[in-house]
Chains A and B, each alone.
Chain A
């Protein structure tokens, strides 16, 4: 089966003080239809940059994609001219964002915002597109859908706005959905509802979902596989069960250790000391080494992603040969 999305050797650079530095380097991952891959890591590790690169939304002078292939349903879309990318964006691949409060245009009715991609990609008339938008509103469970099409984003709550965003993304029935922390800004009960909705929709449409999050609880609930990112690289990748049962990379372990446990009294909050190295001062060897409790000889060398089992791989010479 062809992956819905296959990224191979992606490299995205940003300009800092006149020089280009990679924010994502040599990133590869495959995403099958009807599969959810969680991309996990702390802020600034390159999760969003990866999604934005796939969408072709990183363009000079801010940033540039300098290497790798991005195969969407087998077709390489890396480096396509803007006009051709526009015809793919919002049609075969779609994206939803973290901030439902600001991600919708405040001066356009939500119905028109959903209808817009249908009019652009499917050539529907406004009336036809609005009719389709109404069905989409019902599918994402917005109550009294027909009446709310003509309302504006400020008349919706945060959770409802995120449902509108999802309707916008689903409008053209995309093969790949990139979800960039779609529930982070929502409160916990709404978050659970939206996650449930996303799982349903994925199953019904057979979509491949790349789910970006820093919340491991969300990962456990929604993901089939997990890729852990650190400083622009994937440091560990595997099925969700294996990662949760046997986290191999010291960074993954530190992430799990940072979750407070309810079954033990009086524990100090465990945080990872230090910070992510800045883009213009990236170590040559293991990028986590400066913060790693298991640091030893060999960590100063560049690390490769080594298989632990058939589907589980880790970028750490200590963990790989333990």
Chain B
């Protein structure tokens, strides 16, 4: 193998598994370290800069970082990254002074943002300080989009959302709430220099062809619409017996909200096996904790309506069979199962919908009715129009929408400055030695053995009686510190300098997880087998040095390195050193 080029920022970036997995590439270990030092404001600001909604995400994020966490590969459970973010948000001090302070000198350009969700708000935050005049349109009466209408208050208190939306609106955004943009052509006819579409995936899937759908319509609801109605207090109660159809996070929000609006016997019924459900594992657990059974392998067949009144639903039992790697749900042949219900909530997915964009507006749509959007620049066939969030490529999650917002903002800024959209800014990178003395490091190198701390929940009696009472209590400061110490500091990198190495093997002998090998060089597949512990996880890179004096090379398997610094501590010549690596995605401007 060729020597690894550690000057390529992406090499070490990939080693920081959590940050690499995060769509917005938030420097996770950096803020976790600050939490362990009780520097909550600083930790919050690192988050705010990168993901814009730390308080919201600390409660509701899909956590792509946690399955990626290195700790999950060596210990039983990853670091509770998401809930640590909440610790920073809950305990932060005055943060406003650290944010850009308006009014900003104008650059004479005007931008329209359609939709007031996380993607649009991110664009607004990135562009407002650069002097853009930003107009944000949303049909709701407040900003936040789906974060407001879809996420129930018992998971995300309104005050938390309001605060973080207002941080952005306070940058001098011209907000136009209760304003549904009904024509793209009209919008383009106005004097906006660029338009951003962040309208989400607002159309909930229905089961229009199921018998009884029309007859029982009064008690059959589309999940996301129903949640919005609850959020805006148009809906305040539901029947005692409720069926929620679907296995995603919206289904979990629907069933748990039902329990708070009078649903006593709420059941989630899902077509697929339990293990294949799309909902996050913790959301399923929380639903079951609230006495909501999840009935899997049941396909809805018909709504049962008697005398114009919904009585329940019939389901066919199926069993999953795998053929050629594809899953098929095959009926078991058992008689249909009837489940009683006063109300049914359909939460089986959502789709994009652009009734307001005329097809002659100059924006290309594909055969599925989706806009054709460039994955790097977020541009469309109309030079002024950019897409992001769920509206670009279908439903994802908040953190993805934020990442889209950052990239779209860069493109819009480049466009307004008549620069090519492909001229993306390089990431901000820093690499600094952590050596303080012979055996002293500027970071906490000790690896703690604690198992993952769990977050306490409020008493079920109280939370089920009030829709607005937050269920999770969050970590206390002390728990936050302890959990933060579980972080392995993957951003503190092992940096190897060939010229200094005397091949004494000290690093090989001390490495607790057998990551380092000195061996003859070979092609990657063969080299992976030659190591003291074969490197079988091909998702993780090998760090290969240039040839040493003995013609061998140093090979380090990044897979299970603990970043404990022992290799550097035991190195007599400082050929190994621990360097803190900071990688920030550069924002617009």
Q: Do A and B bind each other?
A: no
Listed in ascending order, the chain B residues whose CB lies under 8 Å from chain A are none
Listed in ascending order, the chain A residues whose CB lies under 8 Å from chain B are none
